[in-house]
Amino acid sequence: MKLYNTLTRKKEEFVPLEEGKVKMYVCGPTVYNYFHIGNARPFIIFDTLRRYLEYRGYEVTYVQNFTDVDDKIINKANEEGISAEELADKYINEYFKDADALGIKRATIHPRVTENIKDIIEFIKDLENKGYAYVVDGDVYFDTKKFKSYGKLSKQSIEDLEAGARIEVNEKKKNPMDFALWKAKKEGEPGWDSPWGEGRPGWHIECSVMSNRYLGETIDIHAGGQDLTFPHHENEIAQSEARSGKVFSRYWLHNGYINVNNEKMSKSKGNFFTVRDISKQFDLEVVRFFMLSAHYKNPVNFSDEMLKQAQSGLERLYNTRGKLEFLLENLSGNLKDEEKNILDKLSYYKQKFIESMDDDINTADAISVIFELAKFINSNVSEESSLEFSKKCYDLFIELTGVLNIVNKKREENLDEEIQKLIDERTKAKKEKNYQLADEIRQRLLDMGIVLEDTRQGTKWRRV
Ligand SMILES: Nc1ncnc2c1ncn2[C@@H]1O[C@H](COP(=O)(O)OP(=O)(O)OP(=O)(O)O)[C@@H](O)[C@H]1O
Ligand SMILES: [Zn+2]
């Protein structure tokens, strides 16, 4: 399997440190709000990478953190008159509701910064002892000039970075690229005791510490959105490698942006749609399907129209699944000769799916293969087919869609909703005296094996 590694700017063969095992860290959300469609992209994409690795037989330890102390959280908590902890608790809870509905598997560990303060302090002490950190008025800074390979991820020399970056003037720092490991407490902020006085951790240190604590000094994959490459991931490398003297992460993966009118969707620009809001209009499986329909590194323009397209694509796949499930209940018999002849098509689709995913998790191509398979099923499985053949088609369809965790509802669950929707449409048509449409809908339901009975309490249905 090949993955595009930001560190080398190349697609590289993926070889984990320990055979059969993958240690993976994904930068998680800052929990002060519902997360938006842009934030959803890394969560969905790297969840899919994890699922694919598991499908290929790897045992994956997956860590995704919650940033539960930071300026934005503190400000919002102060506005709402609650503690930073209460605010973070609330949005962690809300995160899980949306993430579950997006089909994102829970991480092996979801650590929180505030539960790791002791380790953070120890880590900073190590950096200080090794001469990589200096203290000014209760703040502790990382000395970037001391870390010789600073800039290796963003491929810029420290001089270029200094020249190019607009960094706020901070009298306390020795060099403009230095960053805070520990921040002295200010009025109205939460704080913890430390050797440097009361304070709280800077942002970058948390990921170095939690990755080290839960996965060890060297991990296989570290991932996040493209905006995290610099300075966040650059700083994580500096902190971790300065302390351990070992490679921090062997593969660095970054997803491209979800844009609105070609501009990055972001909270600060206000051009964002929360997943929660979208869930009022669309099943969130549609959002997952939409994300996976593009290659994760390509920029994607988000719009309602795109979601509607994704919705109808997903519906087509559900129709295939529904048809197969209906037929499986009614068919019998072993493979027929003509079915034996086309059986190798199934292994071909499976092979193509794996090739696509092996090519830097090309979910867009993988979904095209699923559509090809659906087309094959639609034209080759019918009331005339054998049970054995239909079952083989069905098993492959479920296997491949299962890797991406799409089309994951059974016909029965899906059907009840669909039936009710059609009944409502028919009732509306009757009210509007559109009897032709009403009859058409009744016939469509009958074809699905559903009989309607109009009663005084409304329309009831039963299976034939
Ligand atoms: N428009 C976007 N497209 C793709 N990924 C994004 C986008 N915006 C943020 N991300 C990613 O979402 C993840 C969660 O980050 P976090 O909660 O810190 O959001 P954020 O960067 O504060 O969001 P914002 O940019 O809206 O302020 C990070 O991996 C980040 O790179
Ligand atoms: Zn991080």
ipTM here: 0.97
Predicted pLDDT of residue 158: 85
Among 111, 121, 105, 130, smallest CA distance to 49 is for 105
30 close to ligand 1 (CB < 6 Angstrom): yes
User: Per residue in 392-415, pLDDT tens?
Assistant: 999 999 999 999 999 999 877 777
What fold, for 2-129+202-255?
Rossmann fold (3.40.50)
Q: How confident is the model at residue 464 (pLDDT cuts 50, 70, 90)?
A: confident
Predicted pLDDT of residue 160: 84
258 close to ligand 1 (CB < 6 Angstrom): yes
What fold, for 304-404?
Four Helix Bundle (Hemerythrin (Met), subunit A) (1.20.120)
Question: Ion ligand 2 — residues with CB under 5 Å?
Answer: 27, 207
Q: Between helices 304-330 and 284-292, what is the axis angle to 10°?
A: 100
29 close to ligand 1 (CB < 6 Angstrom): yes
The DSSP annotation for 286-313 comes to: HHHHHHHTS-TTS-EE--HHHHHHHHHH
User: Per residue in 292-326, pLDDT tens?
Assistant: 999 999 999 999 999 999 999 999 999 999 999 99
pLDDT at residue 380 greater than cutoff 70: yes
* CA-proximal residue: ligand 1, atom 7 (nearest): 38
Cα–ligand 2 centroid distance for 317 (angstroms) = 36
The pLDDT of 113-137, averaged and rounded, is: 98
pLDDT at residue 373 greater than cutoff 70: yes
Among 258, 220, 170, smallest CA distance to 20 is for 220
Instruction: Decide: 142 and 132 in contact? Cβ < 8 Å.
Output: yes
Higher pLDDT, 444 or 288: 288
3-class SS at 71? Answer: helix
Among 81, 82, 102, smallest CA distance to 34 is for 102
Cα–ligand 1 centroid distance for 225 (angstroms) = 6
Predicted pLDDT of residue 449: 78
User: Per residue in 332-341, pLDDT tens?
Assistant: 999 999 999 9
64 close to ligand 1 (CB < 6 Angstrom): no
- Helical ranges in 229-292 per DSSP H: 234-244, 275-278, 284-292
Cα–ligand 1 centroid distance for 38 (angstroms) = 6
> What letter would DSSP give residue 145?
G
pLDDT at residue 171 greater than cutoff 90: no
Residue 408: both structure tokens together: 């994951």
Tokens 């959002």 locate to 287
227 close to ligand 1 (CB < 6 Angstrom): yes
Cα–ligand 2 centroid distance for 204 (angstroms) = 6
Atom of ligand 1 minimally distant from the CA of 259: 1
Among 56, 54, 28, smallest CA distance to 42 is for 28
Cα–ligand 1 centroid distance for 30 (angstroms) = 9
The pLDDT of 345-359, averaged and rounded, is: 98
SS percent in the chain: helix, strand, coil, step 5: 50, 15, 30
Cα–ligand 1 centroid distance for 94 (angstroms) = 17
The pLDDT of 375-389, averaged and rounded, is: 96
- Sign of CA pseudo-dihedral 120, 121, 122, 123: positive
Dist CA 384 CA 270 (whole Å)? 56
The DSSP annotation for 72-129 comes to: HHHHHHHHHTS-HHHHHHHHHHHHHHHHHHTTPPPPSB--BGGG-HHHHHHHHHHHHH
Mutation to probe ligand 1, out of 45, 204, 227, 232 (largest number of atoms < 8 A from CB): 227
Least confident of 241-255, 372-386, 445-459: 445-459
Residue 146: both structure tokens together: 């001391």
* CA-proximal residue: ligand 1, atom 10 (nearest): 39
pLDDT at residue 107 greater than cutoff 70: yes
**CB-CB neighbours of 320 under 10 Å:** 23
Q: How confident is the model at residue 169 (pLDDT cuts 50, 70, 90)?
A: low
Predicted pLDDT of residue 266: 94
45 close to ligand 1 (CB < 6 Angstrom): no
pLDDT at residue 203 greater than cutoff 90: yes
225 close to ligand 1 (CB < 6 Angstrom): yes
Dist CA 229 CA 240 (whole Å)? 15
Q: Which residues contact 329 (CB under 8 A, 6 or more apart)?
A: none
